[in-house]
Amino acid sequence: MKKRDDIPSVQASADQLKTWLEEICPPVGIEIVGAVSLPCQLPHRRQWEQWIKSGRHGGLEYLVREHQNRVDPTLLNPWSRSILVMAHRYTAGWPRHDQAPSSGAVAPLASPWIERVSRYARGSDYHHVLLKSMKQVVRGLQGKIAGLEAFASTDTGPYLEREYAWLAGLGFLGHNQCLIHEKLGSGVFLGVALTNLIIEDLPNAGIPAADALYTTTARRRRPPEMAPVNMCGSCTRCIDACPTNALDLSKGMDANLCLSSWSIEWRGGAPPESAHLQGGLLFGCDICQAVCPWNNRAEQHSQEELPVNDSYQALPGHNELSLQDLENISDEDFRQHFRKTPIWRCHPEGMRRNAALVRKNLSGGGNHD
């Protein structure tokens, strides 16, 4: 990314953008695009700072290092005038009582190991798939707006992607911390593109938009004054279902306790005294999404009209391996099978460790799954 402040701004109206996105997005499979003008007040800034201060970031030090940039991207990139937020669906919701162990269901040790992997990680790596589509959208817009500069990233940039997605009208923020689209659920990846585009008539100034600029599926209709509201109501299913009590209504999530941290991020894996809580989960955790009513009723018909990108379906090569193979997988075999998937993130030793833990937990050493 160009780290300079001499990129001149360009301008377009929100209506023009909507028309162009209608043309550009369908062939490249981007399902939602919204935008937020920069600089922008983040309504959850205080919660975010408190979260970091209280150590709930679970040792993910990169979140602390880039703390200021996450709060205000214009510090590092003074030329930036707006942030585009885009989404790819990776699953058509979670059925009520999902039978997959990744959602916490009891399943025998012999069941397919891929169902022990969170849905987001069963196919190709979204860092490549989504990024490629986002770059195509950017190129399409560059064909319409002379001088447009846009730098796309997913996951890896110092941006609070959920916060911007919420502000840009992609969905609401649930008690499970996820960005939830009222029709598509939370099974969506998010990506952002920092741009030099001034968007005229963009209604959001620190207030979440009621809908995105472009969407294949409109959110539930409600009056604009209801847009900022969290749509969880009195529901606490995700908080109640979390096996490690990682979720808290007022403090958000404690990433120190999240099974996703343990099984993916932490090089040492689950803390020994709590390892039984990982149960039959091999990689990541879908429990707080699988119990969510918004996911249970995520539009199934949209699967027919708008199938989830094939790249996110489980890869055929995964069938060649058993859980036991994973427990003993060599570094080279791990590289061959998982280099281009999100599973790559846990390193071969992480996979061997997780597979051994699942076997131990399901052979009587665990009290969950």
Q: Which residue is nearest to ligand B12 (CB)?
A: 252
Among candidate residues 15, 72, 125, 155, the one labeled active-site is 155
CA 369, chain centre distance (Å):
24
Residues 6 or more apart whose CB falls under 8 angstroms from that of 166 comprise 172, 173, 179, 208
Residue 356 C-beta: closest distance to ligand B12, Å: 20
182 binds, among ligand SF4, ligand B12, none (CB under 5 to 8 A by kind): none
Does 265 engage in binding with ligand B12 (CB under 6 A)?
yes
Residue 172 C-beta: closest distance to ligand SF4, Å: 9
- CA dist list (Å): 200 to 12, 46, 81, 283, 345: 6, 28, 11, 44, 40
Residue 232 C-beta: closest distance to ligand SF4, Å: 3
Closer to ligand B12 by CB, 250 or 363: give it. 250
Closer to ligand B12 by CB, 20 or 350: give it. 350
Largest CA distance in the chain: 64
Element (H, E) at 179: strand 179-180
Task: State whether the Cα torsion 263-267-271-275 is positive or negative.
Answer: positive
Verify whether residue 155 is a known catalytic residue: yes
Closer to ligand SF4 by CB, 236 or 330: give it. 236
Alpha helices, H only, the chain: 14-28, 45-53, 61-65, 67-71, 126-142, 161-167, 237-241, 259-260, 287-290, 293-296, 301-305, 323-327, 331-338, 347-360
Site residues, ligand SF4 (CB under 6 A): 174-176, 232, 235-238, 242, 244, 246-247, 253, 258-260, 285, 287-288, 291-294
Closer to ligand SF4 by CB, 21 or 255: give it. 255
What span, in angstroms and rounded, lies between the C-alpha atoms of 121 and 341?
A: 7
Q: Which residues bind to ligand B12, rule: CB under 6 A?
A: 42, 44, 47-48, 51, 60, 63, 118, 120, 154-155, 159-163, 173, 176-179, 186, 188-191, 250-253, 255, 258, 260-261, 265, 284-286, 288
